[in-house]
Amino acid sequence: MGHRRWLEANHPFRHQNYQFDGTIELRSAPIPPTGTEVLKQTHGINYIPGKASNSSKKRGRGDVGSSVTQVFEDADNFENDDSIYEQENDDGTNSALCSKVLDPKELDQLESNVALTLCHMEKIFPPGYLVRLKEYVRNRAYPEGSIAEGYIADECLTFCSRYLEGVEIAFNRPQRNYDIIHNAEEYKFSSGGRFVGKAESTVVHHKLLAQAHRYVLLHSDLISEYRRDFLVAQRSANNNIHPTPRIEQRWLVELFPEWLLKQVRR
């Protein structure tokens, strides 16, 4: 949305394209126009003071349905939940604006941090996070009704489609660029597909790699017999005790990978 233009030239947000709109921001902030330039731009605009007589009638508060009331109630509940905002933005903007006493010096500091605050909010809520709800709008005069009806219809279709057999739906159809994979039942996740675009090399962190390896060892059906043999061996090594599921889970997490490696090397 262009908020990063107002940050410092060496700010790390300028190069975090994956956190924003996919681009690296190298532009500087635009020069604010002077009063003379604004006067020239607005020169010649006919401004009629007062209220126009041909203005369209707006809906009153009583004409709005209960759905709008629910929306505002949800918005109030969301505004009271500062955990999401404070997780990414710890500059005290939210607490300063919502405090009972405002310090003019703090307001000046907040004004200077407006661009940084907007960048933090953009990382949490991308510009297109409501695009699915906007697709439900059919009558722009009553968008809340269209969104409510479209959302309910989508939920009903999703619920009913889960009980259909022999019908291709969004949950069981092949993925895009799907290729035939031999021995697909051996894969824990769907592995079909072809590369589209340029390939990129990524260095996986040791912790993430260990978590993925542990997940496969604990959930793959191909080595379920090894897991049972391992638990039997651990019970024998501990005087045939009857461990709790929590202790067995700890054995599998801490000792099973090394035990399985020894079994494979034999």
Query: What are 44-72's pLDDT values in tens digits?
Result: 888 777 776 665 555 554 554 444 444 44
Angle (CA) 4-75-101 rounded to 5° is 75
For residue 156, what pLDDT band results from cuts at 50, 70 and 90? very high
Instruction: Tell me how far apart the alpha carbons of residues 149 and 163 are, in angstroms, rounded to a whole number.
Output: 22
Per the structure, how many domains does the chain have? 3
pLDDT (mean) for 234-257: 88
pTM over 0.85: no
Looking at residue 79, its pLDDT comes to 44
Instruction: Tell me how far apart the alpha carbons of residues 210 and 134 are, in angstroms, rounded to a whole number.
Output: 41
Instruction: Tell me how far apart the alpha carbons of residues 27 and 9 are, in angstroms, rounded to a whole number.
Output: 9
Looking at residue 56, its pLDDT comes to 59
In a domain, 76, yes or no: yes
The secondary structure of residue 99, as a DSSP letter, is S
Looking at residue 230, its pLDDT comes to 92
Looking at residue 181, its pLDDT comes to 64
Residues ≥6 apart with Cβ < 8 Å to 82? 94, 95
Looking at residue 194, its pLDDT comes to 66
Residues ≥6 apart with Cβ < 8 Å to 262? none
Instruction: Tell me how far apart the alpha carbons of residues 106 and 85 are, in angstroms, rounded to a whole number.
Output: 19
In a domain, 243, yes or no: yes
119 and 144 co-located in one domain: no
102 and 9 co-located in one domain: yes
177: left (phi over 0), alpha (psi -120 to 50) or beta: left
Looking at residue 84, its pLDDT comes to 43
25 and 122 co-located in one domain: yes
Instruction: For residue 38, give Cα distances in angstroms to 29, 34, 35, 89, 111.
Output: 18, 6, 5, 34, 22
Q: What is the mean pLDDT of the chain?
A: 78
Looking at residue 48, its pLDDT comes to 77
80 and 168 co-located in one domain: no
For residue 166, what pLDDT band results from cuts at 50, 70 and 90? confident
Structure tokens that stand for 169 in this block = 């739906």
Instruction: Tell me how far apart the alpha carbons of residues 177 and 78 are, in angstroms, rounded to a whole number.
Output: 39
For residue 85, what pLDDT band results from cuts at 50, 70 and 90? very low
222 and 107 co-located in one domain: no
